[in-house]
Structure 1
Amino acid sequence: MSGESLTGRRGALRRRSRKRPAKTPDGRMPVMDHLRELRRRIVLILLFVALGAVLGYFLYPHTLDLLRHPYCGVPEKYRYTPRGTKNCVLIYHGVLDGFTTRLKVSVISGAVFTGPLWLYQIWAFITPGLRKNERRYTIFFIVASTLLFAAGVVLAYLVLDRGLPIVLAQAGYGTQAQLTVSDYIGFVTLLLVVFGSAFELPLIVVLANFAGVLPAWVLKKSQRIAIFLIFLFAAVATPTVDPFTMCAMAFPMVLLFEAAVLTAVVHDRRKAARRAAERQEPHLEDHVPTPIDPIPQPLAAREQRAEADSAWSDST
């Protein structure tokens, strides 16, 4: 075989390998194709976040003013204020601390700005394994996850604005906090991300119910345990140790979880009613077994037995 033909065959194999993996109608792919698809989605997510980070780098002064506002609301006797001024100042010690802080805030801002784009990439990787009727929830998943995360971030910001003066004032009169910009920004971003991620819990519950993984009767049976676990998660996940922040996270999560349970109950009842109407059977819950004959009989024998029973009842 000549060298030109070998080169042409290798080029054809490379072009074929660059194509997107072929999928069956039900979305099945070999394991290696799944890994390649996962790699492609991860690269796209990183690219989106990097492009958003460029925008966040230029918007850093405005983002820093927004994040610094809760700290500036602390009374001057409890925060660092340069002598002779009333400015709200965050300090740093290392030469590169300012640059690394700006880079960190830019990346986080980029992830927030491009949230719908990389959420779609996650959902697009999951949807091939779902049924066709379950893929209709793509827009619902993206919109709901974005709104819930934004609601959690807004609540965390309000809690920080009200709670930070209380926390810093616990040291007592005569003490003053000299917070570094890296520590403060890290604390604030961690609080915002934890609140925003925690608010995604009801969405996960609803999607698991719609996919048939988590029935409503299981949710209703384990409500007390779930509420206890929510408070435990809030106590562990919040960066502060005060009960005010823990309750500020736990109470909205409990309300959202109850709304998710109610949505699951309504969805399961509609699904059971639809199935009962299709099979012309009485309405049954998902966890109630359907009554069947202990000894299966042929259809003709069953009809003869029904006619005999009706004739005997008429004669009596």
Structure 2
Amino acid sequence: MAISLRRKGTTEFERAADGSMTLIEHIRELRNRLFKASLGILVGFAVGFAVRGQVRGLLSEPYCSLPSSTDPVTGKCKFIQLGPADVFLLDLKIALWVGLVVAAPIWLYQLWAFIAPGLHRHERRYAYVFVAIAAPLFIAGAVLAYFVIHKGLEFLLDFSGDDINTTLDITRYISFATNLILIFGVAFEFPLIILMLNFVGLFSARKLLGWWRVLVFIFFLFSAVVTPTPDPFGMTALAACLSLLYFVAVGVAFLNDRRRGRGREIYEGVDDDEMSQLEDEREPVAAGAPIEPIAPVAAPRPIDRRFDDDIT
């Protein structure tokens, strides 16, 4: 008769949290969650393939809104296709991206449900807050990238002149747009790293603020490297937004330090090699009491040897 180790009234989350799950059960749970996440992504891929045309049109809008991109005869946006299957493969890629976004609540929940039992309660609470902030920040970065694409293409096409006819390859253009949106969205998550370093107690807000000159320089250098367009608009917009978000994150870190009472320590602001100042309070030493004379030791009594054994 098989004996079950499962306690009555306990869920899988509780059993994974208290360590009563076996290794085989953990592997089985991982398999089930991967299957559910893959199924959600497959459904999202079907939705993305159904709306691939609308998404491609939305990504093409920054270029198609420029006067130089319109065909004067048909009035439509001009793109070229270098290979016979380029647009089909591009639609599959767009459908996959849309599927990942649509199915994000499903596969993110499955990922969270697998790793959450290994976290403490306050760590799970922080994770909820960070995820709630990460999504709007990524969307804000994507929206900024959408406008940067328009300004960057306008600068580049105007720079080429009227004597040059420019027609973009649809595959390269969509890859350029999606990569820029991804870069801007990920870059906007940098304030979360600042907050995480402060919330876990590695760096105080005062120390994070002391790095502002170096970090602002790094923001502009990073923006100049990752922005694919050579126009100054995209680089300046990304660096300015990152700098603003950095100062906002430092402000939140100051509020967190004040709430936790950081910065009120006795030796706050004292260098490690600084000598401690001792108080110079000299107290007079009173004269000691006189020592009584030592009495002499009495002579020892004679030893009675009547009962000692004779030694021959």
Superposition TM-score, scaled by structure 2 size: 0.72
Structure 2 gaps of 5+ residues are 5-11, 271-312
Q: State the partner residue of 2:259.
A: 270
Counterparts of 1:120-199 in structure 2 under 5 Å? 120-124=109-113, 127-199=116-188
Tell me which residue corresponds to 1:60: 52
Q: Structure 1, residues 57-100: CA drift from partner, whole Å, max 9, x if none?
A: 10111111211111112223xx362x622211322121211110
User: Secondary structure in 1 aligned to 2:121?
Assistant: coil
247, 253, 259: which one pairs with 2:248? Answer: 259
Structure whose alpha-carbon radius of gyration is higher: 2
Query: Cα 1:228–1:130, aligned 2, differ >3 Å: closer, same or farther?
Result: farther
The aligned amino acid for 2:150 is D
Asked if the contact 1:123/1:138 (under 8 Å) is kept, the reply is: no
| Aligned residue among 273, 276, 283 for 2:264 | 283
Identify which of 62, 72, 96 aligns with 1:70.
62
More deviation, 247-256/224-233: 224-233
Alpha-carbon distance in 1 for matches of 2:48, 2:70 = 27
Task: Determine the C-alpha separation between the residues in 1 that align with 2:202 and 2:61.
Answer: 44
Cα deviation digits, residues 205-262 of structure 1 (max 9, x gap): 2133223344323312222212111111111111212221111111111101111111
CA deviations on 1:37-66 (whole Å, 9 max, x unpaired) are 777766655443332221111011111121
Q: Does 1:248 align with 2:241?
A: no
CA shift in 2, pair 1:30/1:201, >3 Å: farther
Question: 2:74 matched to which residue of 1?
Answer: 85
| Distance in structure 1 (CA, Å) of the matches to 2:252 and 2:157 | 41
How far is the alpha carbon of 1:124 from its aligned partner?
A: 4.7
What CA distance in whole angstroms lies between the structure 2 residues aligned with 1:110 and 1:72? 25
Contact 1:215–1:268 under 8 Å retained in 2: yes
Compared CA separation, residues 214 and 286, structure 1 to 2 (3 A): farther
What is the rounded CA distance, in whole Å, between the counterparts of 2:104 and 2:113 in structure 1? 14
| Secondary structure of residue in 1 paired with 2:42 | helix
3-state SS of the aligned residue for 1:133?
A: helix
Instruction: Among all aligned residue pairs of Structure 1 and Structure 2, give the percentage whose two residues are the same amino acid.
Output: 38
1:146 Cα deviation (Å)?
Answer: 1.1
Summarize deviations over 1:168-187 as a string: whole Å, max 9, x none: 22111211221111111101
- Aligned pair count reads 265
Where in structure 1 are there 5+ consecutive unaligned residues? 13-18, 274-281, 290-316
TM-score by length of 1: 0.71
SS of the residue 1:85 aligns to: coil
Give the SS at the match of 2:79. coil
* Aligned twin of 1:277: none
Distance 1:120 1:214 in 2: 30
Instruction: Give the structure 1 partner of residue 290 of structure 2.
Output: none
Q: Hey, which of these two has a bigger chunk of helix by percent?
A: 1
Contact 2:152 2:229 in 1 (8 A): no
Which stretch of the first structure deviates more once superposed, 56-65 or 129-138? Answer: 129-138
**1:195-210 superposed matches below 5 A:** 195-210=184-199
1:129/1:283 Cα in 2 relative to 1: closer, same or farther (>3 Å)?
A: farther
Output the CA distance in 1 between the equivalents of 2:266 and 2:112.
30
Whole-Å separation in 1 of the counterparts to 2:267 and 2:184: 34
Alignment match, 1:51: 43
Residues 271-295 of structure 1: per-residue CA shift (max 9 Å, x gap): 126xxxxxxxx93289669xxxxxx
User: How far did 1:24 drift?
Assistant: 5.1
Q: Determine if contact 1:73/1:165 at 8 Å carries over to the other structure.
A: no
Structure 2 residue 102 is the aligned partner of structure 1 residue 110: no
